[in-house]
Structure 1
Amino acid sequence: MIIEKLKKADQIPEEISDIVKDSVINTFSSICGEAPRYVEISDDNKEPLNGIIGNIAVFNPDLTFSLMMAIPKETAFKISESFLGVELPFDSDDMGDLVGEIANILAGDVAANIEKVGFRGQSSLPTATRGSDLTLFMPNKPPTVKMKFSGNCGDFLLNMAMSESR
């Protein structure tokens, strides 16, 4: 069973990260009008972010996949214009709502696609965090995958972590 295999894993299997990567590409293709491309990054890349982070999880009673979309300020403007037809003020509640909604759309796609490998889960409520010099990290060092994407809406990152549900 996939759950038992995942519980013993010390890294997120490529099969799972590929599903998430495809979900990111599908989600942002529909928002921005063209597919963003995946960009290789080094695992030691710890550049701070000046922008907004959308947090959401896909979980079941056994395991949780935490997804953190890190969107730089300029990319957030382009996404809002593409998704809504207007550039939202970065400091507005509406920008936070937009990023939360995009995280929700992404998690729905991940939950549907990850079911194909036997992981049945649901998504949590999304949250958004805005600021400068933000650093993404996970306490307790769970297995993680960092992904970077670049497209006509700009660059953005996705950090995924896998942990036991509590």
Structure 2
Amino acid sequence: MKAEFVNPFISSTLSVFKTMIGMDPVKGDLYIKSDEKLFYDVSGAIGLVGDFVGYVSISFPEDLALEVGSQFLGEEITELNNELGDAVGEIINMVTGSAKKHFSDKGKKFNISVPNVVVGKGHTIQRPANIICIGVKFHLNDKIFVVEVAMKEKK
């Protein structure tokens, strides 16, 4: 996996949070994922297929998911419910869609799946074999969420 594959997702995450949610996360450390377990309690994932294959996910601790979802929807969400799931799904959809445009501008195309949202501690997303996953930590309101990118070019 190439670093330039991750950078569009970093930029689009920062942009979507600032313009669509009104929040300013700060990019933290990058890491290489060694297992399939996601960091937190609420995650959205989108599959990629075309010139690239793989997936992109965003994962929040429950309290931050509620905070971000409330800000995004403009109404307080106090529990894990369908509205929160819809918000997280739409956020990963916007992040991936924005990054997709970056790749398209460089002549690389891929389609994205409908977002899937998973709720619960210790959930996993199985990535395709032989695809390295790079994660990015983002700091927001003294909490951390992550965006993970597992993609490779089709040969």
Q: Distance in 2 between matches of 1:33 and 1:150?
A: 15
Structure 1, 85-94 or 100-109: larger mean CA deviation: 85-94
Counterpart of 1:43, as a letter, is: I
* Equivalent of residue 3 in structure 2, options 2, 7, 14: 14
The 4+ residue runs of structure 1 with deviation greater than 4 A are: 44-48
Asked if 1:68 is matched to 2:29, the reply is no
* Equivalent of residue 47 in structure 2, options 36, 57, 75: 57
Closer/same/farther in 2, CA of residues 137 and 37 from structure 1, 3 Å limit: farther
TM-score when scaled to structure 1?
A: 0.78
Closer/same/farther in 2, CA of residues 153 and 86 from structure 1, 3 Å limit: farther
**Pairing of 1:1-166 with structure 2 (within 5 A):** 12-43=1-32, 49-60=39-50, 62-135=51-124, 138=127, 140-152=129-141, 154-163=143-152
Q: Distance in 2 between matches of 1:71 and 1:23?
A: 17
Q: Which runs of 5+ in 2 are unaligned?
A: none
Q: Distance in 2 between matches of 1:90 and 1:134?
A: 18
Q: Distance in 2 between matches of 1:48 and 1:121?
A: 24
Q: Distance in 2 between matches of 1:68 and 1:81?
A: 20
Q: Distance in 2 between matches of 1:153 and 1:57?
A: 30
Is the Cα–Cα contact under 8 Å of residues 54 and 68 in structure 1 kept in the other structure?
Answer: yes
TM-score when scaled to structure 2?
A: 0.83
How many matched pairs? 153
CA RMSD of aligned residues (A): 2.5
Counterpart of 2:48, as a letter, is: V
Q: Distance in 1 between matches of 2:142 and 2:21?
A: 6
The C-alpha deviation readout for 1:13-33, integer Å capped at 9, x for no partner, is 122211111111111112442
Q: Which runs of 5+ in 1 are unaligned?
A: 1-11
Give the 3-state SS of the residue equivalent to 2:80 in structure 1.
Answer: coil
The C-alpha deviation readout for 1:25-52, integer Å capped at 9, x for no partner, is 1111124424311111543687864411
1:66 positional shift: 0.6
**% identity of equivalent residues:** 23
Closer/same/farther in 2, CA of residues 32 and 154 from structure 1, 3 Å limit: farther
Is the Cα–Cα contact under 8 Å of residues 74 and 154 in structure 1 kept in the other structure?
Answer: no
